[in-house]
């Protein structure tokens, strides 16, 4: 078992990483943060088939349980599913001191978290992320929300969970591409903030409690400094500035696009004499070991598009570059610099 505590002033919470947690200590950990009876589980139809009964069986002697299932996939991060989930919960007579559990990937986590932030002006919720991507990224940091009007994550709120429970055993049922999707973010954490994590990955081990722990340490540290995403959190965007463009243009999964985007940012760093070549080679080798895409795109061709990325503040592009493995820096480029230097 590995444990991390996200030290936020008003909403501190634990992340527990434990192999077979869903089979063994699930009930114990929930009882540590919740002492009422009623729990509502929100999940999608894929995760329902794999894990809902398992979870309900472990909890049924200690809690009164009910659940809401929505279709799987990004389309469910919608206002329609938000309304559906709220309606079902109200029909089922949810009260403001009841607990929600988000059982599933990032879609369930983001939607359930948003319901938890808004229904009764806020309900407690626990995240049980089951995809590697949600374990690495979306379940930590309190960003919740849905897509609306053609825009991703445009309606949302910051809402921290009471607890996050990660069982690495859930990786056994993920298909290869979903697994890779999370690996992109996991490796990113090593590159920007934890050299030890990259060393652990060298021999392509199975993703263990320790590896998840080392990866989440990086996200936790950044979230603690910048709970509401006004500065430091942008370092988590390493690989994303180019990655977002590639993802939309060529249909990669998010984590795969992050892998390709990291290589582009590393090459940009090399051209600016910020990133040593060994650094690029080391990241390339790890991505290759885990079968992530290594496709080459010339970053210079995409620099112009980065100006239109929604994350860039008026006229300045913040690139996250790597001076050394396990360290990152923010490199600001104005539109004028951009024209001049590249």
Ligand X SMILES: NC(=O)c1ccc[n+]([C@@H]2O[C@H](COP(=O)([O-])OP(=O)(O)OC[C@H]3O[C@@H](n4cnc5c(N)ncnc54)[C@H](O)[C@@H]3O)[C@@H](O)[C@H]2O)c1
Residues at the interface with ligand X (CB under 6 A): 44, 46-47, 50, 72-74, 77, 104-108, 110, 130-131, 133-134, 137-138, 141, 143, 153, 170, 173-174, 178, 181
Residue 113 phi/psi, 5-degree rounding, is -60, -40
Closest CB to ligand X among 72 and 195? 72
Cβ 262 to ligand X, closest distance in Å? 16
Alpha carbons 154 and 82: distance in angstroms, whole number: 13
Residues 6+ apart with CB under 8 A from 136: 182, 185, 186, 189, 212, 215, 216, 219
Closest CB to ligand X among 106 and 243? 106
Q: Is 242 helix (H, G, I), strand (E, B) or coil?
A: helix
Cβ 212 to ligand X, closest distance in Å? 14
How does 76-92 read in b/e, with b if 16+ C-beta sit within 10 Å? bbbeebbebbbebbeee
Closest CB to ligand X among 199 and 229? 229
Token couple for 256: 């795969």
Closest CB to ligand X among 138 and 235? 138
What is the full DSSP assignment across 143-159? EEEEEETTEEEEEEEE-
Cβ 137 to ligand X, closest distance in Å? 4
Alpha carbons 309 and 249: distance in angstroms, whole number: 13
Give the CB-nearest residue to ligand X.
106
Closest CB to ligand X among 169 and 289? 169
What is the full DSSP assignment across 187-222? HHHHHHH-HHHHHHHTT-----HHHHHHHHHHHHHH
Token couple for 255: 């984590």
Cβ 50 to ligand X, closest distance in Å? 5
Closest CB to ligand X among 220 and 267? 220
Closest CB to ligand X among 183 and 322? 183
Cβ 194 to ligand X, closest distance in Å? 18
Cβ 297 to ligand X, closest distance in Å? 22
Nearest-5° Cα angle at 293, 332 to 232: 30
Cβ 332 to ligand X, closest distance in Å? 24
Token couple for 212: 């998840």
């Amino acid at each position: 078992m590995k444990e991390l505590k996200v030290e936020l002033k008003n909403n501190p919470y634990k992340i527990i990483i434990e192999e077979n947690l869903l089979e063994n200590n699930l009930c114990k950990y929930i009882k540590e943060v919740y002492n009422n009876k009623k729990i509502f589980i929100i999940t999608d139809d894929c995760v329902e088939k794999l894990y809902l009964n398992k979870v309900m069986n472990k909890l049924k002697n200690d809690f009164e349980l009910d659940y809401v299932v929505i279709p799987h996939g990004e389309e469910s991060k919608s206002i329609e599913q938000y309304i559906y989930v709220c309606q079902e919960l109200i029909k089922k007579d949810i009260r403001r001191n009841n607990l929600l559990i988000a059982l599933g990937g990032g879609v369930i986590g983001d939607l359930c978290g948003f319901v938890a932030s808004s229904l009764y002006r806020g309900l407690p919720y626990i995240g049980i992320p089951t995809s590697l991507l949600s374990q690495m990224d979306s379940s930590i940091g309190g960003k919740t929300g849905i897509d609306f009007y053609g825009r991703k994550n445009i309606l949302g709120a910051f809402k921290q969970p009471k607890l996050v429970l990660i069982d690495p055993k859930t990786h056994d049922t993920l298909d290869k591409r979903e697994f890779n999707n999370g690996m992109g973010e996991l490796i990113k954490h090593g590159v920007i903030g934890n050299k030890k994590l990259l060393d652990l990955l060298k021999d392509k081990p199975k993703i263990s409690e320790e590896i998840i722990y080392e990866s989440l340490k990086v996200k936790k540290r950044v979230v603690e400094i910048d709970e509401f995403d006004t500065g430091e959190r942008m370092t988590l965007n390493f690989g994303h500035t180019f990655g977002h463009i590639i993802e939309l243009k060529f249909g990669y999964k998010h984590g795969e696009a992050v892998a390709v985007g990291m290589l582009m940012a590393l090459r940009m760093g090399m051209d600016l004499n910020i990133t040593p070549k060994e650094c690029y080679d080391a990241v390339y080798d790890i991505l290759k070991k885990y079968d992530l895409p290594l496709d080459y795109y010339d970053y210079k061709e995409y620099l112009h598009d980065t100006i239109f990325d929604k994350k860039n503040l008026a006229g300045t592009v913040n690139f996250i570059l790597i001076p050394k493995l396990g360290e990152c820096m923010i490199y600001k480029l104005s539109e004028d610099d951009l024209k001049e230097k590249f």
